[in-house]
Amino acid sequence: MLLAVDVGNTNISFGVFDGPRLVHHLRTESALSRTADEFAVLVHQMMALRGVASSTIDGAVLASVVPPLTDTIVELVVQTFECTPLVVSPGVKTGMRILYENPREVGADRIVNGVAAFAWAKGGVICVDFGTATTFDCVTTDGDYLGGVIAPGIMISADALFARASRLHRVELARPERVVGRTPEGSMQAGIVFGYAGLVDGVCRRIRDELDYPCRVLATGGLAKLIAPETESIEHVDDSLTLTGLRLIYERNLPSRGRQAPRAT
């Protein structure tokens, strides 16, 4: 089985694939203070609870946007699963041309999302990722990564609001009953949920106006299921999109014989 690891600014996602099927999806906090041994204990326990033996993992692939954690997670995989993970980085075969002015400046997660999004859309696509930042990644009809948009994430914006406005207290991120709130809680929920829905629709409309081909829109990320139903743009939500992209990239880097993926350079 394949272990796919997505190291984000907030969470680390571990996906276990049996062929193309994602059979387990685990998450833990992206704690910079944890050592490889601490992560190893945590991951081993999470997998044991799901009946996954470490010996069944015979390949691994990793994407990270947190450089201080990259080597830690690589060490975790090597020690726990006895295989060297393929690290998505410049030089790894993705099957996707990067049209960014400096391809090395594109986050690995955005390329991985683009690969999976194009596989889903089979044409022009906008991938909206509701992560620490809210990102919009555009892929052309030929499967090239064109570029995108980066906006402050929902939690970042909400935390800033609660921190800077002394009379506004933290609220649950949930859909309010109405747009016009009649309590501070309802008003903030409306601003966050409907405000970000409007941001998504507005950005997607401008992207489509700028491009000369149709684009489908799908979403991923922790708050995608909250925001997507309030938009007119998002057609589909895929919680495991990044893990799927990692699997596809791993398969594209498999040698003609054997199952061990090459180490990225």
Q: Which residues partner with 178 through β-bridges?
A: none
Report whether pLDDT(260) > 60: no
Distance CA(171)–CA(223), nearest Å, equals 15
Write down the catalytic residue from 6, 109, 129, 238. Answer: 109
Q: Tell me 11's DSSP state.
A: E
Give the max Cα distance, the chain.
64
pLDDT tens string 177-228 = 999 999 989 999 999 999 999 999 999 999 999 998 999 999 999 899 999 9
Whole-model pTM: value is 0.90
Mean pLDDT of 34-62: 91
Residue 169: pLDDT band (50, 70, 90) is confident
pLDDT of res. 32? 92
pLDDT of res. 149? 97
Distance CA(248)–CA(39), nearest Å, equals 25
Tokens (6 digits) for 141: 């009809």
Please count the CA atoms within 13 angstroms of the CA of 94 that sit on its side-chain side: 28
Tokens (6 digits) for 184: 């501070």
Distance CA(136)–CA(211), nearest Å, equals 14
Sequence-separated (6 or more) residues with CB below 8 Å from residue 58: 1, 2, 83, 259, 260
| SS3 sequence of 175-209 | CCCCCCCCCHHHHHHHHHHHHHHHHHHHHHHHHHH
* Catalytic residue list contains 109: yes
Mean pLDDT of 75-90: 93
Question: In 10 A of CB 183, how many CB atoms?
Answer: 10
Q: Judge: domain 103-244, CATH 3.30.420.40.
A: yes
Label the pairing between strands 125-130 and 216-221.
parallel
Domain with CATH 3.30.420.40 in the chain: 2-87, 103-244
Residue 73: pLDDT band (50, 70, 90) is very high
Backbone angles phi, psi at 66, to 5 degrees: -125, 85
pLDDT of res. 264? 39
The enclosing H or E element of 78 equals helix 67-81
3-state secondary structure of 41: helix
Question: In 10 A of CB 157, how many CB atoms?
Answer: 17
Distance CA(171)–CA(153), nearest Å, equals 16
Q: Judge: domain 2-87, CATH 3.30.420.40.
A: yes
